[in-house]
Amino acid sequence: MSAVITGGASGLGEATARKLAGEGVSVAIFDLNEARGRDLAAELNGNFCRVDVSDEASVATGFAKARNLQGQERILVNCAGTGNAFKTASRDKATGEAKHYPLEQFERIIQINLIGTFRCVAMSAAGMLGLDPLDDGERGVIVNTASVAAEDGQMGQAAYAASKAGIVGLTLPVARDLSGDGIRINTILPGIFSTPLMNGAPEHVKEALAASVPFPKRFGLPEEYASLAVELCRNTYINGEDIRLDGAIRMAPR
């Protein structure tokens, strides 16, 4: 069995690639970080494809390469994504001049997080249609990554929260679209996780964030995300679901 993991060179994607490889799955890592992606693929006896999920040709080329090397994937895990922070409208502290969210930045986040996710979902599902069904009729499974920001986005997260809410919103319709062909889709909404981006924050910021989690009072571990992602692949009765993985946190406005 083979899998494709977008954003698989680090963080949640890397942990998922490691977990799936440990289960005997052939993994293809889609990422822009070529050096890290190639090293990890070699370590896992998998394959690396340099892919920009915001570019249709890049994604198509990545799937073609992965399928040529390891066959049509039965598993797709979408972890590629990014974020930014701009208030919808504000005043410049120095000049008092009013300014609005830079729309090209809003479009960039939607293009990568939401459209990039759906682009990979659609292309992967089209490939899965050609697979023979397994004993239970399943042809494939897709796991998407949203965020708790989809439900309680903070100040400055209009684009990020909208992109992640869009991923949540497409989950059930896509599950319904693909149900007749035995392809499932579910979405994980991670809370505050220990990823390379988060680990670069100042120590006092990390301590305050960890303390805000009801229980356990710490960051989530990438391995915990990977564990849930693999369970969603295993359990064929979970379909069309959005699952928070967050220690019961509800994000404050800021």
Q: What positions carry a catalytic annotation?
A: 160
Expressed in percent and rounded to 5, the helix, strand and coil fractions of the chain are 45, 20, 35
Written as one string, the DSSP assignment of 155-208 is TT-HHHHHHHHHHHHHHHHHHHHHGGGTEEEEEEEE-SB--HHHHTS-HHHHHH
Greatest Cα pair distance in the chain: 67
CA distance 185 to 224: 19
Please state the length of the chain. Answer: 254
Cα 249 → chain centroid: 19
* Alpha helices by DSSP H, 3-77: 11-22, 34-43, 56-70
User: Is residue 228 helix, strand or coil?
Assistant: helix
* Distances 50 to 56, 71, 167, 187 between C-alpha atoms, Å: 13, 18, 23, 24
CB 204 within 8 A of CB 152: no
Q: How many CB atoms lie within 10 A of CB 228?
A: 18
